[in-house]
Amino acid sequence: MQKFLNKKIALVTGGNRGIGFETSKQLAKMRGMHVILTSRNEKLGHEAIHNLKSKFDLDLSYYKMDVSSLESVRNVYDQVQSKFGRLDILINNAGVALDKGKHILNIPAENFIKTFQINYLGAFHTMRTFLPLMQKNGYGRVVNVSSSLGELECIVEPYNAAYILSKFSLNALTQTFASAVDSDLIKINALDPGYVKTAMGSSFANIEVEDSPKTILYLATLGKNGPTGSFYRDMKLIEWTKPDEHVICRRR
């Protein structure tokens, strides 16, 4: 634990590719943190760690973690507690979009359930598990990677409903957890990273992966007077429960 005293410890879920990978890289490279990169796929996770260490000589660890499994999350908690004794930053990035372009009446039930298990319950499991450690040490920053499709006006949209409703629920969960902890010590916020060129976002997206963590890093390093229980897009506070002219709810 001694060697990590002068570094913030950050954990990123879904860190083996896309936004999670880039966030892990920038937290370690630009902010000098020790980053715990996690993923469901152990092989891809180790490949990501090897890539980051060999190219950039960054300070990272890897743990296999399936956020939809409370047992898996608790197992990683035990390892983090034993090795580091604390967790300063939690980035809930893991997510899936299994119903692109599908009408809610045609979404297979198992896809709807899996979407909620990962996008919503995944963040619930990690926050419920790691927040007590943050409270014990008197500091914490939690960033939930959500979506503009999770804004209130999109829940009437019958297409992509599993994804939309899971992100809407994540936004609400963010506020609930933020109200449950000391806001001077722990900040919990959500954000929309925008339409990013990833496997989920596709090559037609308008944001490069390298630019996607900007708001994530901002929320991960908030000062004592920073916001909590809020929703951000492009470094700006967004009232996600009110009409938003920038939101295009249907993506088919």
User: With pLDDT > 70 as the criterion, what percentage of the chain qualifies?
Assistant: 98
Q: How far apart are CA 58 and CA 51, in angstroms?
A: 10
Is 93 inside a domain boundary?
yes
Q: Give dist(CA 71, CA 90) in Å, integer.
A: 18
| Residue 246: per-residue pLDDT | 86
* Residue 201, both tokens: 């976002």
Q: What is the mean pLDDT of the chain?
A: 95
pLDDT for 250: 63
Range 82-104 average pLDDT: 96
Say if 243 falls within a structural domain.
Answer: no
Residue 248 in domain: no
Domain with 146, as residue range(s), is: 2-237
Rg (CA), the chain: 17
Hey, how many other C-beta atoms are within 10 angstroms of the C-beta on 61? Answer: 16
Q: What CATH number does the domain containing 175 carry?
A: 3.40.50.720
pLDDT in tens, 4-21: 778 999 999 999 999 999
Total structural domains in the chain?
Answer: 1
| Residue percentage of the chain with pLDDT more than 90 | 91
What does the pLDDT average to over 203-229? 94
pLDDT of residue 179: 98
Question: Of 76, 16, 18, whose CA–CA distance to 47 is shortest?
Answer: 16
pLDDT reading at 202 higher than 80: no
Mean pLDDT of 176-201: 95
Residue 244 is assigned to a structural domain of this protein: no
The reply to whether 242 falls in a domain is no
For residue 3, the model assigns a pLDDT of 73
pTM over 0.85: yes
pLDDT digits (tens, 9 = 90+) for 18-46: 999 999 999 999 999 999 999 999 999 99
